Structure 1
Amino acid sequence: MRLSLAPWQADGQRAAPSKKVRVADEPVRRRDQAVATAETGALVLDEESPLPETAADVEDLARRLRGHINRLGVMVPKETPVLRHPQQLGSAGVPDGYVPSRVYLVQLAKATQELTATVETCGSDRAKQQGERPRWTPRINVLRAVVFALALACLVLATSVPRA
């Protein structure tokens, strides 16, 4: 069971692995952490997803879930009891044996989902408290117009200076 880590575009298609980004192309949006965690949790908890076949697959999924716990743990207040359980599960190693390792993986995925739900509620509360608004980014044509206006102003200033 190999899981791809390629980035996703807004329309759900895989993005090209190329590092070049042209101005005309819409940039690939960074995926939300909660969405990435939900996808990894679905790989473990979804009824239709296949069970990991090898111990390496189990270790890979556990590593991903631990990474999600670490990233989400920063977004939750430290006094939250929901954070302690996933961190304790994540710090434990994957048990040996087929059934115990799968049970551990399911427990880790459920704890990660609970942490994700807490992050979503805390994040919306923090945004309401701080009154944060999304940052406006100008379109490329606005930037071009500003550069053109500055160049034109410099040209007018240069031609108005008397020659000596």
Structure 2
Amino acid sequence: MVAASETVTLVLGEDSPLPENAADVEDLVRLLRGHVAQLGARTAVGSPVLVRAQRLCSESIPEGYMPSRVYLVKLAEATRELMAHVERGGPGPNRAKRGRRWRKPQINALRGAVFAVALACLVFAASVPRT
């Protein structure tokens, strides 16, 4: 998500200049299409935001200086909308109902638990009378 945000900012940022040549436009379009594909996997099929972004991705890059830059900006805006949709938690395949998922404990918590059990065993063993 961070990479997508950086690419969108590269295209839509106020201080970002328009790409100089066609190769730069093609590189940015390729990156944005990749981000749309990744974000699309986290969005429900048929979502209007996803459909718009995928439709733009399926179009070819127009010829000419201004049409190609306009297409690039539209694709970046569609990617930004899709990112916002995913961040809001829009319905998607990863939102399916599942059983309770336990949080994985941190390693220091595990170490502390093992230490506490070992200490309790040591105290118990020391309190048992010797015969």
Please confirm whether the aligned pair reaches a TM-score higher than 0.5, indicating the same fold: yes
1:67 to 28, 34, 38: 34
Quick one: which amino acid aligns to residue 46 of structure 1?
G
SS at 1:44's partner residue? helix
Give distance in 2, aligned partners of 1:63 and 1:80. Answer: 22
Partner of 2:65: 98
| 92-101 or 62-71, larger mean C-alpha shift | 92-101
| 126-135 or 102-111, larger mean C-alpha shift | 126-135
Residue 52 in structure 1 maps to residue 19 in structure 2: yes
Partner of 1:25: none
2:76 to 95, 106, 109: 109
Unaligned runs of 5+ in 1: 1-32, 147-164
Structure with more contact order per residue of length (Cα contacts < 8 Å, sep ≥ 6): 2
Give distance in 2, aligned partners of 1:101 and 1:132. Answer: 48
Q: Deviation digits for residues 64-119 of structure 1, max 9, x if unmatched?
A: 00000000000001021111111111111111111111000000000001111111
Partner of 2:49: 82
Quick one: which amino acid aligns to residue 104 of structure 1?
Y
Structure whose CA Rg is larger: 2
The 8 Å contact of residues 42 and 92 in structure 2, kept in 1 or not, is answered as no
Percent identical across equivalent pairs?
Answer: 52
Change (3 A) 1:141 1:122: closer
| 133-142 or 49-58, larger mean C-alpha shift | 133-142
Quick one: which amino acid aligns to residue 84 of structure 2?
A
Question: 1 or 2, which has the higher helix percentage?
Answer: 2
The 8 Å contact of residues 43 and 93 in structure 2, kept in 1 or not, is answered as no
What is the CA-CA distance between 1:63 and the residue it aligns to? 0.2
The alignment yields a C-alpha RMSD, in angstroms, of: 3.3
SS at 2:29's partner residue? helix
Give distance in 2, aligned partners of 1:88 and 1:128. Answer: 24
Unaligned runs of 5+ in 2: 114-131
Give distance in 2, aligned partners of 1:63 and 1:137. Answer: 36
Provide the TM-score with structure 1 as the length reference: 0.57
